[in-house]
Structure 1
């Protein structure tokens, strides 16, 4: 088997290589740079994405370098609170805080260290890719200009918004009609600012802004810029937040936040992931998370295809079919959220303040605003829960309290109550008993259904009776799992 060639060693590319290597697939990772980008960019992942980091093997270390986010506050132009949406800082439905704030270089160091421990992954830095096909990648070393050809069983383009792989396969960027100029400032303060522990969003059309704490004395500010606006005074922008505390600026960068999706994510066995496939405004904090979801979705399918004699049929076709609508839905939500928080003129802003205050007081709408679950994937299996991500409660296993995924293993799984269901060749059977699920959280979610879970923990089927064999494809051996194993 030729190696999978991953182009781009950012978080998405490294995560994809790790997920493949953990499934026995050798990978070659190519990047223009030998070291990770040293400055902060992404700052948030949710509890769903934390499960991916758990699968990769870095979640516990990540928790030590991140901090739970308490939610979102909407402020007016004078920084008065219009609405507050708190999140669970202890544990969400997937076993982790629902919002996790971090410094991206910390995450990249953890991912690179994990990748380095895997014998099936080779990393080559200082490599510039200039040609790709479904079976070969050609690149030259920037240091001496030597050219190399790497045979490939598949190619993953994880090389960012200015993707070379996307250009080489002829994919185009589709503009979803959102573009705003913003100034992003990361700083370290000489003293703690005693800020509320969530994200502050200033809903002021004169100067929309975002403020958040990333770590001890580490903060990020984002300020919307207007077309043709001259150089801004960063010190004056920070002053209302820093209250006289000195700020050492770590990074100051101007970005145009865009909403774009590639018109196609695949050419033969060449795939696009992360920013190479899509870009989203940051208003719901799902940019990096979307790329990691891409990697999680594709890795198990590609591994199954490469290790199944004759391939896995149309399984690889489902990557774009599932991920593209999901990404578009999240981008649309980010655009709407951005407009609601930052758009409009003075009169619209005044109306928005009244509406937000009213929404905050309406029963049930607070819970809706705090939902962290992502949209279901389309066209997956059958049953009302098909396409949704299963929760990950804590369970009791062999005398220890563990997260559910530690019991499920890396492949397909079937959750059931009562007698083991027949007709599930290729699945690991997990009996959900009171001993396994002492709190009843998992059984309440199952509601007596037999639930088939894919390797990425997405529900394939959830039915009240045993699912038919037609819906039970898979290559993983069936085992009935008990507490004695």
Structure 2
């Protein structure tokens, strides 16, 4: 500036410092669902804030089983190895009646997965490991805070938080976020704030459980389901000689926690012979609720995990269903916040895809509970014995049971993202809405290319077909391209897994949650473009 240039006669107004960056997503609840959601969002480059009412993470075992479907989801987050290393791989399910072992069946038999097994790990450990991974990404759980109010506008959510246990609203703090996700359990404050009905029923029976040491002839890599004249028990190894015992109490009105003597009496009358329980670390009595939220989203507030669905622990599906809710939702929220795709289509597809899954899980868990625990009497006992004998001798039935438990048979049939393929691809599997499959790719497994942070465009050629290359170019880093050459797949195993022709340019678009988004032949860019408009291309 020259000396003769005009200078203001009044000083400029002081510059206001920029407001602190507010994370666009508030996650309420730091259980496995909330932690998985936070990990997935941060992997996608989306900042989040995660709060929890509890002053510290759970110290009891709670949910134990991590099934194949959840291990696949954890693999896409880079945390599967931590979970597997810290847990116990189960090898068999043993079923018996009184002094007789009726059957020993392999676990995860016939499960088509990169992780064809179930890992037993206490929920407390699962939460610890997920929290450590989240802390490594710079996100700290804010504990002792509960959600007390939510106010929405067309563009944001104002959430009011309060120190847990305080009644004075002078301690409240407010934040504004683009979205709030309630992962805060069966009594979800987020669900209540949105006045979303939680419909279902409560089983009239009272169930009891314990975590104790267990002396006796038990295999620490097996699950046990056993019955006798006095009822049924289920036994699950936790590690270091500790076992979970689950049973139904005779008096349905007695809600008091059991003592060690009561648990031992259950083992004596209907468990495997020769077991002695000791040193309890958890004793609990509870009723089973089977409930489903009537909707998973109200505008900018969404529900996941137990906030959206609860059911019997039979089959060990609850935590797993919540984990997979989180992975399904995370990439869709990320796309919306990054200005890609159609926001309404993406967010509506979360409920359209995941709520039917929860309905199936609730119904299946209720059936397992009634068949395995609630039903009693001589006739029921004989029918169980016969059913176990039949199932254990028929591989097809054994595999169906295991595949259902593993959550690898899930497919999405509803929602706008599940577009019907072109006629030439109509009968090829996996189809849109079905799970991605693993197979060999070069020197390693194909699943190593899958990540929650982007779509994977699998192309059976050494380069993208010209019709697809132009369409893909508009999607930027939202898609990683993986080509499959004859060198990568010399025996055509991966091509066969995807019902594709080696070297043909056939392509499969795999979503970040490892479900198929679209597929087509080399000259079929239309199917890709239709999906890309909904989920990948810049909005507008």
Report the counterpart of residue 480 of structure 1 in structure 2: none
Quote how far apart the aligned CAs of 1:162 are: 1.1
CA contact (8 A) 1:178 1:335 kept: no
* Worse-matched range after superposition: 151-160 or 97-106: 97-106
Q: Distance in 1 between matches of 2:95 and 2:275?
A: 23
Q: 1:374 aligns with which of 398, 409, 412?
A: 409
Q: Distance in 1 between matches of 2:493 and 2:341?
A: 40
Q: Distance in 2 between matches of 1:100 and 1:168?
A: 36
Cα deviation, 1:54-104, whole Å, max 9, x if unaligned, reads 23332212112101112423322x052333331259x95332242111111
- What secondary structure, in the 3-state scheme, does the structure 2 residue paired with 1:73 have? strand
Change (3 A) 1:408 1:441: farther
Q: Distance in 1 between matches of 2:320 and 2:203?
A: 20
**Pairing 1:174–2:191 present:** no
Report the counterpart of residue 387 of structure 1 in structure 2: 433
- What secondary structure, in the 3-state scheme, does the structure 1 residue paired with 2:362 have? helix
Report the counterpart of residue 125 of structure 1 in structure 2: 143
Q: Distance in 1 between matches of 2:452 and 2:337?
A: 20
Report the counterpart of residue 233 of structure 1 in structure 2: 262
Alignment of 1:192-341 (within 5 A): 193-195=217-219, 197-204=221-228, 206-226=230-250, 227-228=252-253, 233-238=262-267, 243=274, 247-308=278-339, 312-341=343-372
CA contact (8 A) 2:434 2:516 kept: yes
Quote how far apart the aligned CAs of 1:51 are: 1.8
Q: Distance in 1 between matches of 2:275 and 2:112?
A: 40
Q: 2:511 aligns with which of 454, 474, 477?
A: 454
Report the counterpart of residue 443 of structure 1 in structure 2: 495
- What secondary structure, in the 3-state scheme, does the structure 2 residue paired with 1:55 have? helix
- What secondary structure, in the 3-state scheme, does the structure 2 residue paired with 1:318 have? helix
Cα deviation, 1:247-276, whole Å, max 9, x if unaligned, reads 211101112122110111111110111101
Q: Distance in 1 between matches of 2:36 and 2:308?
A: 16
- TM (norm. structure 1) is 0.88
Quote how far apart the aligned CAs of 1:242 are: 8.3
Change (3 A) 1:159 1:36: same
**Pairing 1:34–2:65 present:** no
Task: Give the count of matched residue pairs.
Answer: 470
Q: Distance in 1 between matches of 2:447 and 2:322?
A: 24
Report the counterpart of residue 115 of structure 2 in structure 1: 96
Structure 1 residues without counterparts, runs of 5 or longer: 478-485
**Pairing 1:54–2:83 present:** no
CA contact (8 A) 1:204 1:342 kept: no
Q: Distance in 1 between matches of 2:338 and 2:53?
A: 30
Q: Distance in 1 between matches of 2:341 and 2:379?
A: 63
- What secondary structure, in the 3-state scheme, does the structure 2 residue paired with 1:156 have? strand
CA contact (8 A) 2:44 2:454 kept: no
Q: Distance in 2 between matches of 1:130 and 1:363?
A: 52
CA contact (8 A) 1:85 1:369 kept: no
Report the counterpart of residue 481 of structure 1 in structure 2: none
Quote how far apart the aligned CAs of 1:464 are: 5.0
Quote how far apart the aligned CAs of 1:343 are: 4.0
Q: Distance in 2 between matches of 1:408 and 1:272?
A: 23
- What secondary structure, in the 3-state scheme, does the structure 2 residue paired with 1:60 have? helix
- What secondary structure, in the 3-state scheme, does the structure 2 residue paired with 1:472 have? helix
Q: Distance in 1 between matches of 2:202 and 2:488?
A: 49
CA contact (8 A) 1:94 1:391 kept: yes
Quote how far apart the aligned CAs of 1:149 are: 0.3
**Pairing 1:420–2:501 present:** no
Quote how far apart the aligned CAs of 1:408 are: 5.9
Q: Distance in 1 between matches of 2:323 and 2:483?
A: 30
Moved beyond 6 Å, runs of 4+: none
CA contact (8 A) 1:205 1:343 kept: no
* Worse-matched range after superposition: 357-366 or 292-301: 357-366
- TM (norm. structure 2) is 0.80
Change (3 A) 1:253 1:393: farther
Q: Distance in 2 between matches of 1:18 and 1:329?
A: 27
Quote how far apart the aligned CAs of 1:438 are: 5.5
Q: Distance in 1 between matches of 2:126 and 2:65?
A: 11
Quote how far apart the aligned CAs of 1:204 are: 4.7
Report the counterpart of residue 90 of structure 2 in structure 1: 69
Structure 2 residues without counterparts, runs of 5 or longer: 1-21, 421-425, 501-505
Q: Distance in 2 between matches of 1:403 and 1:188?
A: 41
Change (3 A) 1:368 1:162: same
RMSD of equivalent CA atoms: 2.8
Cα deviation, 1:315-373, whole Å, max 9, x if unaligned, reads 10111111000111122122222233234332133123223323333463233233232
Q: 2:532 aligns with which of 454, 457, 472?
A: 472
CA contact (8 A) 1:75 1:203 kept: yes
Cα deviation, 1:130-157, whole Å, max 9, x if unaligned, reads 1013411101124875210011110000
Change (3 A) 1:325 1:178: farther
CA contact (8 A) 1:140 1:148 kept: yes
Change (3 A) 1:187 1:311: same
